[in-house]
Structure 1
Amino acid sequence: MGYQCVDCLEQARTDWQRRRPTTRSQFGAVIRPGQRPVVTFTVIGLCVILYILQLVSDTVTAALWYAPLQTSSWTFEPWRMLTSALVHSPSNAMHLLFNMFAIWFVGRSIEPALGRLRYIALLSLSALGGSVAVLYLTPALTPTLGASGAVFGLFGALFILMRSTGSQTGGILTLIAINVVISFVIPGISWQGHFGGLLTGALCALLISKTPRARSGDPQKDARRQGKWQGLGLAGVAVLLVALTALGMQLVDPYT
């Protein structure tokens, strides 16, 4: 009988947990106590591992960086528009350290608020948006690499998300302004990638934050509906970036 009572209590506890309302952020992410920013740490770890491999062999850098010529009628390697965000200048460790610190600092706040899938989409689209800007605004043979496009996407997204929650945005605006100035003052920095990432990240966050929360009385159903519309919005951004890439390919001229 004792075992049966224990089993009954355990079953009752499990049933209660299943029926307990799920706490969600304003943007639809499930909030769990002690939740770790797994995606943020994974991206940082991947960049660090690739940086070590870059130090071992120059071929790693050459295989993953992006230049506009690599999305043209001469060379078609579109995956580089994303892989270039994972590699950094082997001769400048500060390039890696700054970007990883920025991802850690901002990402650990944004990831729990958005949830992992939305956060992955934000990072990926920001990196792609940075490369699209490079495609249009950088000479065809100029290689670009680094997570700065994704970092600026996080900056832009954080500003929009803070505005949507009524938080003070003076700090993030100052941070963005300082980094924009640095982009133009220090030689060798791709302001084009920063610009594209910033705009894309802000656009993604705007679509996420402006998606209305349904009020049907069923929280799970409402969350699914909100997530569906957010997903469609982010998919629309992806389609736009792909279309801009297809158009930009026709404009690449390796002789200019």
Structure 2
Amino acid sequence: MLPDEPRQSTEPSHGGGLPDCHRHPGTATGISCTRCERPICPQCMVAASVGFQCPECVGQGHAGARRATTRFGGAPTGDGGLVTRVLIGINLVVWVLAAYVLTPRLGEVWSLASAGRDRLGGPYGVADGPGQWYRLLTATFLHLEWWHVGMNMLALLFLGPPLEQALGRLRFLALYLLAGLGGSTLTFLVAGDWVVSLGASGAIFGLIGATVVLQLRNRGPLGPVMALLVFNLVITFSGAWGGPGGAGPSIDWRAHLGGLVIGALTAFGLMYAPRERRGLVQGLTVAAVLVLEAAVLLTGMALYGA
């Protein structure tokens, strides 16, 4: 018998004839599965590298096959930038709505606004309690100026796809959202007594921090991303106290630093998780970062809330 020829069934025949297919009683066949040796009819045959197999054996073989993943455990995709483009699309849609359609209402209800209990009319916004905590996330998608959304989305378009391709879509999205929340919660902790902040800059700084970790993990060149980080930090702190007449900050340095730290910490847990316990360690990393952000939020509430 040649290696690729169908294997003849060894099942006993009925009345001297051919055996019935084990999946279709009454259908005689002279072929058997090359793995389990049960008789199979042409309707059930699945071509294999050697002979034919029954559907059950094919399914068992697929179940035992190792699932392909990205280097850090994500599901590989042909398009490594889908989540990045979706995030850019959401930010642009929200910008159009806030700046031209629902002006000024959307900006008022989505911004990271907070006034402490000692302020007239306070507590207000995030400091007012859980019903207003949504602002910590919505503010990261809110822009009112074209140059603000434009700069942030260009940075996202540059930084997002390499990280998304390395981590996979779900892990990349978690990194982005956690970094954005990290920037918002630090802003609330430091300035929740009186603050209005908005923009995706905290999440963008988180991606910069994650790119630094990725380059360290891959032993890649650090020069370009470190230059980008230093440049943005200079811009951050030169503008943080550069408001007109010294009236106040024009750049929220707290959101930038919070996003940077959380992005780097999250990326470290995702990228340095040991292969044999990768899923567990990565899940614990995300949970630990959420707990940290919740602790920062509750501390801010103790300082400014009702």
Note whether the superposition's TM-score is higher than 0.5. yes
Structure 1: runs of 5+ lacking an equivalent: 215-224
**Equivalent residue in structure 2 for 1:236, among 278, 283, 288:** 288
Deviation at 1:28, TM superposition (A): 1.1
Runs of 4+ in 1 over 6 A off after TM superposition: none
Out of 23, 31, 40, which is 2:68 matched to?
Answer: 23
Measured at CA, do residues 253 and 236 of structure 1 come closer, stay the same or move farther in structure 2, by a change above 3 Å?
closer
Distance change >3 Å, CA 140–CA 75, structure 1 → 2: farther
Structure 2 counterpart of 1:82, one-letter code: L
- The question of whether the paired residues in 1 share the 8 Å contact of 2:75 and 2:169 is answered with no
Identify, as 1 or 2, the structure richer in helix.
Answer: 1
1:149 aligned onto 2:211: no
- Given that 1:72 and 1:250 are in contact with CA atoms closer than 8 Å, whether structure 2 keeps it comes out as no
2:120 matched to which residue of 1?
Answer: none
Distance 1:125 1:9, change over 3 A: same
Tell me: CA distance 1:253–1:232, structure 2 relative to 1, closer, same or farther (3 Å). closer
The Cα shift of 1:170 comes to 1.2
How far apart in 1 are the matches of 2:293 and 2:93?
28
- Amino acid across the alignment from 1:67: A
CA RMSD of aligned residues (A): 2.8
What's the CA shift for 1:228?
A: 2.4
Q: Distance in 1 between matches of 2:177 and 2:129?
A: 25
What is the percentage of aligned positions where both structures have the same residue?
A: 33
Contact kept? 1:136, 1:248, Cα under 8 Å? yes
Task: Give the aligned partner of residue 170 of structure 1.
Answer: 223
Counterpart position of 1:182: 235
Counterpart CA distance in 2 for 1:155 and 1:63 is: 29
User: Deviation of residue 30 (structure 1)?
Assistant: 2.8
Question: Partners in 1 of 2:92 and 2:185 — Cα distance?
Answer: 24
Contact 2:111 2:135 in 1 (8 A): yes
Larger radius of gyration: 2
Aligned to 1:203: 265
> 1:253 Cα shift?
7.6
Whole-Å separation in 1 of the counterparts to 2:304 and 2:237: 24
Give the Å deviation of 1:140: 2.6
Letter in 1 for 2:279: G
Trace 1:22-41 onto structure 2 (pairs within 5 A): 22-32=67-77, 34-41=78-85
Distance 2:137 2:166 in 1: 24
Which structure carries more strand by proportion? 2
Q: Aligned in 2, Cα 1:210/1:52: closer, same or farther, shift over 3 Å?
A: same
- Tell me how far 1:167 sits from its aligned partner: 0.9
TM-score by length of 2: 0.71
Select which of 35, 47, 67 maps to 2:113: 67
Structure 2 gap ranges (5+): 1-41, 116-124, 243-249
Q: Bigger relative contact order, structure 1 or 2, given CA contacts below 8 A and separation 6+?
A: 1
Q: Any conservation in 2 of the 1:67–1:140 contact (CA below 8 Å)?
A: no
Which of 49, 60, 78 is equivalent to 2:93?
49
Letter in 1 for 2:114: P
Q: Does the Cα contact within 8 Å between 2:159 and 2:207 map onto a contact in 1?
A: yes
Cα deviation code 1:159-184 (max 9, x no counterpart): 01210111111110110000011112
The 8 Å contact of residues 157 and 205 in structure 1, kept in 2 or not, is answered as yes
